[in-house]
Structures are given as C-alpha cells and as structure tokens.
Amino acid sequence: MDEIKNVILEHYNGNEFEYRYLFGTNGLEKLYRIDKINKFNQSVYNIDFFYDGSINLGDLLIYGIAFGSSKFMSEEFLNKYPAHRDNKLVKTVDGHILYKLLIKYQNKKLNRIIISYYSKNDKLHYMDLFGNTEINNIIEYKKCEEVFNWDNVL
C-alpha cells in the first residue's frame, strides 16, 4: 500500500483522487490542477510561484523548460478560428508558467529573463512564443553552453 502513495497525492472520495504528478495537456489544464492542489494541506509541491504575489523573481534564468506545443487546438481549428492563434495559455503545455511570468512582470516582480536554448530551432520556437508578449522586451536568449558548462561538472 505504500507504493500507492507514490502516485496519489490526495483522495477526494473512494474512487477519485489527485495524482502526485502534475499531468495536463496544456497550461490552462495545469493551472486548474495547481489550483486544486493548492486547496490541499500538502507539502509535496512548493507552489508559492503561483500564489505568493510578494515573491520578486528579479533576474530569472529559464533552463530546460521546453514550452512545447500542446496540440490542444489543431491547425485546422486555428485556420477556421484564427483569433485563437495567440492563446498561449492553451497552445503550450507550460502556458501556466508563461501566464504567471506575465503577472509577475505586470506587478514589477520580474526584471529580466534569460532563456537558455539548445538549438537554433529551440530559439526560434521561444522567440515565436514570447515574441508578441509584454515580457518580450526583457528576454535575452543564450545558448545552453553560455549558461552552464558541463565540462566543469563531469
């Protein structure tokens, strides 16, 4: 029975439970799940980033977050309803993080962001994702090797 604690964070009733892992197909779903988790008296997640408005991020390094496409809205759907093309909250699996970064910036709790990228395609993806957001003007892109030198670790 101890193994089940590795999967289940909290039971709602006999048949429903919240996973210990943050599953979600897009940022909106993850925000919803984080909100449910916030209501539990739990110590597994530190979710202050999402709920503590006093936290000042200052200069922030983003390393290893893909902001991958969620595929929640198909290209066919987006062609038919182009107004949804810029809905970054649901277009990326990490839209919940982007949303909170925008709030931190608007509340003057974020000065600068350095986004590390692995390849030219990664950089182009980040530039497309952040390009028409309020935080675009505080973002600097650096290759992973500029940020972290693995030779010093190995």
Interacting residues of 70 by C-beta distance below 8 A, sequence separation 6+: 25, 26, 27, 90, 91, 92, 93, 95
Q: What's the Rg (C-alpha) of the chain?
A: 18
For range 77-105, the mean pLDDT: 90
Interacting residues of 13 by C-beta distance below 8 A, sequence separation 6+: none
Report whether pLDDT(149) > 80. Answer: no
The pLDDT, as a whole number, for residue 126 is 94
Band (pLDDT 50/70/90 cuts) for residue 90 is confident
Distance CA 32, CA 41 (A): 17
Supply 40's token pair: 């539990």
Q: Are 73 and 84 in contact (CB under 8 A)?
A: yes
Report whether pLDDT(92) > 70. Answer: yes
The pLDDT, as a whole number, for residue 150 is 67
Instruction: Evaluate if pTM is beyond 0.85.
Output: no
Report whether pLDDT(154) > 60. Answer: no
**Residue extents of the structural domains in the chain:** 2-145
